[in-house]
Amino acid sequence: MERLLEDAAETFKLLSDKTRLTILALLKEQELCVCDIVAVLETTQPNVSQHLKKLKNGGLVSETRRSQWIYYSLNVQDKPYVQGILEQLPSMKHRLNRLDPECCN
């Protein structure tokens, strides 16, 4: 029980950052590569990579390598309290529709 509370507290710390919360909202819609996230957030690749590293270390995202690109997706099946939060986040579909389809191809 104590371990569950510690894990939840660490997860909530990760979710307290607007950029990381936005990344999770984007990944709720679809799997994305770093360049897609950079384009939507209008920030730098190192900034996005640092946030993704924290989310991955926290067990909230997973990565899949395809050729030279790494794609990120949500990994919250074992965290129902995070799923509840994600359901409350606004849709990011409108922001994803503006992405360059040739970004990671």
Is the residue at 99 inside a domain? no
Residue 78's contacts (CB-CB under 8 Å, 6 or more residues apart) are 59
Q: Is residue 103 part of a domain?
A: no
> What are the pLDDT digits (tens) for 87-105?
999 999 999 988 877 667 6
What φ, ψ does residue 59 adopt, rounded to 5°? 75, 20
Number of domains observed in the structure of the chain: 1
Structural domain includes residue 74: yes
What pTM did the predictor assign? 0.90
Q: Percentage helix, strand, coil, to 5, in the chain?
A: 55, 15, 30
Domain that includes residue 72, residue range: 2-88
For residue 71, give the CATH number of its domain: 1.10.10.10
Tell me: the pLDDT tens digits for 27-49?
999 999 999 999 999 999 999 99
Kindly state whether residue 37 falls inside one of the protein's structural domains.
yes
